[in-house]
Structure 1
Amino acid sequence: MKKIKFYVLSFSLIAFICLSLVGCNSNDDSEQTSRLSFRMTDAPGDYDAVYIDVQDVLIKSGTDENDEGWVSIGNVAPKVYNLLDLTGGVNVLLADEIVPSGFLGQVRLVLGDDNAVVKDGVTYPLKTPSAQQSGLKLNINQTLVGGVAYEFLLDFDVEHSIVVQAGSSGNYNLHPVIRVSTMATSGVIKGRISPVLEGFQVLASVQVGTTTVSAYADEFGVFQLNGIPAGTYDVKLTPQVGSGKAEKTITGVVVVNGEIKDIGSVTLDAIPIP
């Protein structure tokens, strides 16, 4: 069997943990960020192994067909994956990065030359058509909400992606067929302290399992708690000592993945005089 090179795929950030997304306090949507993770899985085919050389993952805000505007979402080192290891619900993390929020038009999966298929114990190189050597473009067309984490699953259809060249050459060509699905894996809680406490900070927090997610209100009194999984939470607002205001809890705040839950204006009560 042909020896296949394996590489380590590394990124500038650790693997996706939605609870680690901590609040961004700006009330300017243009400054918001979202977290993207791309995973790959496979629908099985009649082969012993199918090796795919993933070199990079690029994203683009537009949907046009030109080659401008593509950006790598991480410091990606190449790796060769056996797609048949990714069946039966198994998937692998390809990329995980925080990016500016807004419209995401396309993703490009860049493949290298170390693609091969093993059939009946014999390894054959997989040739990639020249039109796809610059990367396989996949349409996303998803608006990324600030503070929300998104997971994209690239479902590689092996059965329809491997094409045997006509004639007796025995050559195999790779024509990737990939279905993309999107799942928002967290939501956002935001609100505003009114009136603003001049000269004093207010800490907003929620308890997510054993983790406390918190953020300070900004100069306009706006607070935002990012990366909150779907569920019902109590939001605790803790004014700085000396402000003369009492702690307040907003109960029963329902968070939906992929959405911003705005609890509106909250007025803090004065600390009762004994």
Structure 2
Amino acid sequence: MTFKPLFSLALLAGITLAGCSKDNESDAQNTSKLEVRLMDAPGDFNRVSLDVQKIEVHLKEENDPNGWQLLPFTPQALNVLEYVNGRSALLVSTDFAPGDLKEIRLILGPNNTVTTRDGEVYTLKTPSGQTSGVKLKLDKATLRQGETFQLLLDFDVAKSIVERGNWKPGNDKKERFLLKPVIRLVAQEIAGGIYGTVTPAAALPQILAIRSSITPADTFSTAADASGAYRFQGIPSGTYRVEFFPTATAPANQQAYRTATATGIVVVNNQATSVPTVKLQ
């Protein structure tokens, strides 16, 4: 995707305020970042809609009821069949205190449905034992300062939706399918990085790193320091486009500052990728 200049600046304004403030808060509070993503293994349906209401993580011992912490998540219906073949839904991305995670829990609402190949929509009944949420245990999941930790929930549609054998056409549609979520949990540290220098430093550029190798693209933001140096850390592996937007005006006797873009920047987990010096004049 190519940004139009007006759109890029508008996007930058919003991301700059949020991104820079978060960067400053992270530095001040020595935080890490926690991401929760959802992906799916395909099933033989047209649509599977999950009514996700809350996402929580457990920080203490297993039986401590006070160990659950609510994550910032907007309740929504997710068609999990949209997130196959490498695509994933970003459910949570938040600054988080370094430390150990014990469990993650998804709280589902009552409006879960499945659409079969013939276009019929059926309510997915959830067994009473799962009304407290779908819990997934974590083994040695530790968030470290300055790094991003990702919890990837791999939802297996084929195993999660169970058709009742005694159901017949004409019976109550709510009784045909049960939802018994089967989710594989992948927990991983994300410690890739991008760094480089931009000239002239007096342009005071804001910088976006856009991971274009996934859909929808992820966007991260930072700013160059007084020497023109910049660094993104704790970002996922993938191919990035890095965009530079001057925030200062060049002196009257100099050429105007311009925007610039570096493409094809490949980030590998646990490595920092150097970008050649970018000139804004």
Aligned positions of 1:220-259 closer than 5 A? 227-228=233-234, 257=269
The AA in structure 2 aligned to 1:136 is V
Find the counterpart in structure 2 of residue 182 from structure 1: 187
Pick one of 108, 112, 121 that aligns with 1:115: 112
Q: Matched residue of 1:68: which SS?
A: helix
- Residues 138 and 207 from structure 1, CA distance in 2 versus in 1: closer, same or farther, beyond 3 angstroms? same
Pick one of 50, 53, 72 that aligns with 1:52: 50
Find the counterpart in structure 2 of residue 191 from structure 1: none
| Paired residues of 2:148 and 2:235 also in contact (CA < 8 A) | no
Find the counterpart in structure 1 of residue 196 from structure 2: 207
Larger relative contact order (CA 8 Å, sep ≥ 6) = 1
The AA in structure 1 aligned to 2:183 is I
| Paired residues of 1:35 and 1:98 also in contact (CA < 8 A) | yes
When normalised by structure 1's length, the TM-score is 0.59
Find the counterpart in structure 1 of residue 100 from structure 2: 103
Aligned positions of 1:112-151 closer than 5 A? 112-119=109-116, 120-141=118-139, 142-151=141-150
Pick one of 9, 16, 39 that aligns with 1:41: 39
| Paired residues of 1:21 and 1:226 also in contact (CA < 8 A) | no
- Confirm or deny that 1:155 pairs with 2:154: yes
The AA in structure 2 aligned to 1:33 is T
| Paired residues of 1:148 and 1:258 also in contact (CA < 8 A) | no
For structure 2, the 5+ residue unaligned runs are: 1-13, 199-206, 208-221, 238-266, 272-281
| Paired residues of 2:148 and 2:234 also in contact (CA < 8 A) | no
Find the counterpart in structure 2 of residue 167 from structure 1: 166
| Paired residues of 2:26 and 2:95 also in contact (CA < 8 A) | no
The AA in structure 2 aligned to 1:106 is E
Please, what is the CA RMSD of the aligned residues? Answer: 3.5
Q: C-alpha displacement at 1:207, in angstroms?
A: 3.1
| Paired residues of 1:33 and 1:146 also in contact (CA < 8 A) | yes
- Confirm or deny that 1:82 pairs with 2:71: no
Q: Matched residue of 1:140: which SS?
A: strand
Distance 2:50 2:176 in 1: 16
- Confirm or deny that 1:61 pairs with 2:67: no
Which one has the bigger helix percentage? 2
Distance 2:197 2:127 in 1: 48
Q: Matched residue of 2:96: which SS?
A: strand
Distance 1:22 1:213 in 2: 14
For structure 1, the 5+ residue unaligned runs are: 1-12, 189-205, 216-224, 232-254, 260-274
The AA in structure 2 aligned to 1:111 is L
The AA in structure 2 aligned to 1:82 is N
Q: C-alpha displacement at 1:77, in angstroms?
A: 2.5
Higher alpha-carbon Rg:
1
The AA in structure 2 aligned to 1:95 is V
The AA in structure 1 aligned to 2:68 is W
Find the counterpart in structure 2 of residue 93 from structure 1: 90
- Residues 107 and 21 from structure 1, CA distance in 2 versus in 1: closer, same or farther, beyond 3 angstroms? same
Distance 1:23 1:187 in 2: 21
